Chain A
Amino acid sequence: MLPQLLANGLCAGALYAIVALGFGIIYRSTGVFHFAHGAIYTIAAYLTYLMLVATNIWWPVAVAVALLGAAFSGVLAELLVYRPIQKRRASPLAALIGSFGIYLFAVNLIALIAGNETKVLRPGVDITFEVGSVILTRFQLLGFATFVVTLVAFFLFKKSRLGRLLTAFSDNPALVEVLGWNASVIRIAIFAAGSLLAGISAIISVMDIGMDPHVGMSALLISAVAVVVGGVKLFEGAIVGGVVLGIVQSLVVWQFSVRWMDVFTFSILVLFLVLRPQGLLGKKVRLEEV
């Protein structure tokens, strides 16, 4: 029983980790609490649905369109909303309110076009595989494989010149500009990359379990909790946080009930904020510095 639950948790956590990594990269490097990350998740989900069902196109094309759509929406949010707010040197909370506006607009536009009801892409029960003593579905394996690929790609990127640039930009954007880089271009690239990660997670998840216009909200909340649990100061924090949350949720469902899952998730958030604000990976800091 336990290995199966851990495997289920790990596979759910793998998808959490991907979307949370996108949120974490944007939050850590631009300081924007990107509430609209949830809207981008929903956009990718519905683009996949639109492509696969309405146009009946070959699936890799559908996936590519959905990912491009996600990245484009992220860039649009930066250009139309965050940049003017940032130019005004407003408090980060102003960007948060603007971001919530984007979320509200996009999600209601989608509901207006596609309706509020749940849509599914895969009828019936999924094909399963036996791996040792645990049984996994095709989409669980796909999700985990994608997670491994994303992880490898991320660590290769982090070691590269551009990866070091991202770290430098997160620590001190002004200094990066002094070195001759264009901060606006870097921000655009960050929003594109972060949104791409949201898109990847969204596509795999909704192909498996379907979607309604509010899927993005839970993805966003999970991402925010994962980033806090793992540690805000490190990009890897979101990955660790996502996997840990997936496993903890799976164990809560087993020990208690699925009804109490949210209460546990957010209790973990509050406990971390109060007792370990630097997260699992972070070094000990004073509360004021976080």
Chain B
Amino acid sequence: MNYLLHILVMIGIYLILTQSLNLVMGYTGLLSVCHAAFYGIGAYASTLLMTSWGVNFFVALIASIVISMLLSFVVSIPTLRLRGDYFVLGTLGFQAIIFGIMYNWISFTRGPYGIPGIPSPSLFGFVFDSPSSYVSLTTAFALLTVGFVYLITSSQFGRVLKTIREDEIASQAIGKDPLFFKTTSFALGAGVAAIAGSLYAGYMRYIDPTSFTIAESLFLITILAIGGSGNIKGPIVGTVILVVLPEVLRFLQIPDTVAPNIRMMLYALALILLVIYRPRGLAGEYGFE
């Protein structure tokens, strides 16, 4: 039972991550390779606030969103002026820099030793320390995120984002400043990713930088490329498939030594086949065509 609840918690956390990346990648058309960095910034910001200053989880969560959004400007202001491949490279650079800082600034983040003993979230005396209570917490935030992304993208703001994605010059012609909208979308994505980071830290009760690598950023892109992006259901399909698949392989009695490699090869095959034959992914609306 606890095993099932664990999978549900991970689905919730990954849904928040992929929906926030969906805003940036699917709706705004920006292939950002530093989403895991904001996930990490969220996790570290709330962890440090909770362990060093004893701040309550929910206060730390809000602070981590603000911190992540502010730091997103450091990334977006230089990189959003770049196009296509160069934007990808710029965000890749920031991903590596932010990971390097988390890993090497030992006096601040404890680097590779990680931070143990993170307190479980508590609200008005109720402590979310059992798997079943944590499922309700992550599910609630996942639903809030889906609702938020839906509201944003079905508003006028969201339609401007899609216009920029399809034709940037057309959006300028109707008097919308693409840079402003891209910066805002990027900051919102970073802020929501910080929620996932805080929830992850409160759930695992231990974090270290290896959860927030380039490979993690690429994994999030893989989920969106397989499930699809640019609508609400694409990331949901992708997240459920890619979080549940490892467990299916476990039931097929594939030994643990080779299971991760086989899993990655399946992802890779799906990625290649989809990008050739169905660039919008299984259920998406947009796919760099």
**Genuine A/B complex:** yes
A interface residue numbers (CB < 8 A to B)? 33, 80-81, 84-85, 88, 90-94, 96-98, 100-105, 108-109, 111-112, 221, 224-225, 228, 259-260, 262-263, 265-267, 269-270, 273-274, 277, 287-288, 290
Whether the Cβ atoms of A94 and B287 lie closer than 8 Å is yes
CB contacts (< 8 Å) of A81 on chain B: these are 272, 275-276
Whether the Cβ atoms of B271 and A260 lie closer than 8 Å is no
Task: Check B76 for interface membership: any CB of A closer than 8 A.
Answer: no
How many A-B Cβ pairs are below 8 Å? 134
Given contacts A97-B225, A108-B262, A228-B89, 17 further A-B contacts (CB under 8 A): A85-B276, A88-B276, A94-B275, A96-B85, A100-B271, A104-B222, A108-B261, A109-B261, A111-B261, A112-B258, A224-B92, A267-B93, A269-B93, A270-B93, A273-B79, A273-B82, A273-B90
B interface residue numbers (CB < 8 A to A)? 31, 78-79, 81-86, 88-90, 92-94, 96-97, 100-101, 103-104, 218, 221-222, 225, 258, 260-262, 264-265, 267-269, 271-272, 275-276, 279, 287-289
A-B contact pairs, 21 of them (CB 8 A): A33-B88, A94-B275, A98-B271, A101-B275, A104-B264, A104-B265, A104-B267, A108-B268, A221-B96, A224-B89, A259-B104, A263-B96, A263-B104, A266-B92, A266-B96, A267-B93, A269-B90, A269-B93, A270-B78, A273-B89, A274-B90
Whether the Cβ atoms of A105 and B275 lie closer than 8 Å is no
Interface pairs A-B: 5 shortest CB-CB: A101-B271, A105-B268, A263-B100, A104-B268, A101-B272
Whether the Cβ atoms of A90 and B279 lie closer than 8 Å is yes
Whether the Cβ atoms of B100 and A262 lie closer than 8 Å is yes
The minimal Cβ–Cβ distance linking B111 to chain A, given in whole angstroms, is 9
Inter-chain CA distance A288–B82, complex, in Å, is: 7
Whether the Cβ atoms of B271 and A96 lie closer than 8 Å is no
CB contacts (< 8 Å) of B275 on chain A: these are 81, 85, 90, 94, 97-98, 101
CB contacts (< 8 Å) of A97 on chain B: these are 221, 225, 271, 275, 288
